Amino acid sequence: MPAYRLCYFNFRGRAEPARFLFHLAGVPYEDVRWELADWAKIKNETPWGQGPVLEVDGKPLAQAPAINQYLAKLFGYNGKNDWEGAQIQELQGALDDVINEMKTPFMTKDEEEKERLLQQFISDKVEPFYSRLVKRLTENGNRHFVGDGLTIADIALYVWIEGVDEGVIPGVLAKFPVLEEFVKRTASLPKMREWIEKRPDCPFSIVSKKKQ
């Protein structure tokens, strides 16, 4: 079996879907948690100057979507056929679009402008995204976003939706009861719950207002 090292900060964020995949598959790995104080030194050692980074027998793979897809294919969470695999990538791409837009408000130093941009991000990006997710989930029978079993699409969307509701944009999820139920149901799956209960106590992201 290859030697796996998953490197990221002590946040759930972009690495948590991969951590879930390792736990679901029962595959051992080294869960490396970088210190923020060391980032300036570590950054230039990563392939693209950011995390997470997955090392497989010492070979690095960066970019969260690539890591998620690689592990999901290996461990059986990338759908049952090419069409489902493509749907999963579609959802990952849609999620990444929203994640990238989220950076702008939190990089703004003026607090009043930050709040304005955050509310605009919620109304222009998050709420339409959630509405489309509700449509997709409902059309697929309400349990999973793709196919009839748990996939990396469910895991990645669960991690982000639950995480930002915790302390980044709290309260938005309550407007979407279908997604609220999806989050609760996904978290209650036995192997998902196992990881939630045993993982290190850490916030979703650097901008989270409180720890879980």
Tokens of 210: 């409180």
**Claim to verify: residue 133 and residue 50 sit in the same structural domain:** no
Q: Is residue 212 predicted with pLDDT exceeding 50? A: no
Tokens of 108: 């703004």
**Claim to verify: residue 132 and residue 35 sit in the same structural domain:** no
Domain count for the chain: 2
Residue 205, domain member (yes or no): no
Distance CA 149, CA 90 (A): 17
Helix (H) or strand (E) holding 46: none
Q: How many CB atoms neighbour CB 109 within 10 A?
A: 6
Average pLDDT in the chain: 96
**Claim to verify: residue 181 and residue 109 sit in the same structural domain:** yes
**Claim to verify: residue 90 and residue 46 sit in the same structural domain:** no
pLDDT above 70 covers a percentage of the chain that reads: 99
Q: Once rounded to an integer, what is the mean pLDDT over residues 172-184?
A: 98
Q: Considering only CA atoms, which of 81, 51, 54 is closest in space to residue 70?
A: 54
Cβ atoms of 61 and 44 closer than 8 Å? no
Residue 138: domain span = 82-190
**Claim to verify: residue 10 and residue 46 sit in the same structural domain:** yes
**Claim to verify: residue 116 and residue 20 sit in the same structural domain:** no
**Claim to verify: residue 121 and residue 69 sit in the same structural domain:** no
Strand partners, 55: 5, 60
Residue 116, domain member (yes or no): yes
Give the CATH number of the domain where residue 70 resides.
3.40.30.10
How high is the pLDDT of residue 123?
97
What tens digit of pLDDT does each residue of 32-74 get? 999 999 999 999 999 999 999 999 999 999 999 999 999 999 9
- Residue 210's pLDDT band, with cuts at 50, 70 and 90, is low
Residue carrying structure tokens 């490197």: 7
What tens digit of pLDDT does each residue of 121-136 get? 999 999 999 999 999 9
Sequence-separated (6 or more) residues with CB below 8 Å from residue 81 = none
How high is the pLDDT of residue 173?
98
**Claim to verify: residue 65 and residue 110 sit in the same structural domain:** no
**Claim to verify: residue 8 and residue 71 sit in the same structural domain:** yes
- 57 burial (CB, 10 Å; 0-12 / 13-18 / 19+) is exposed
Q: What is the pTM of this model?
A: 0.95
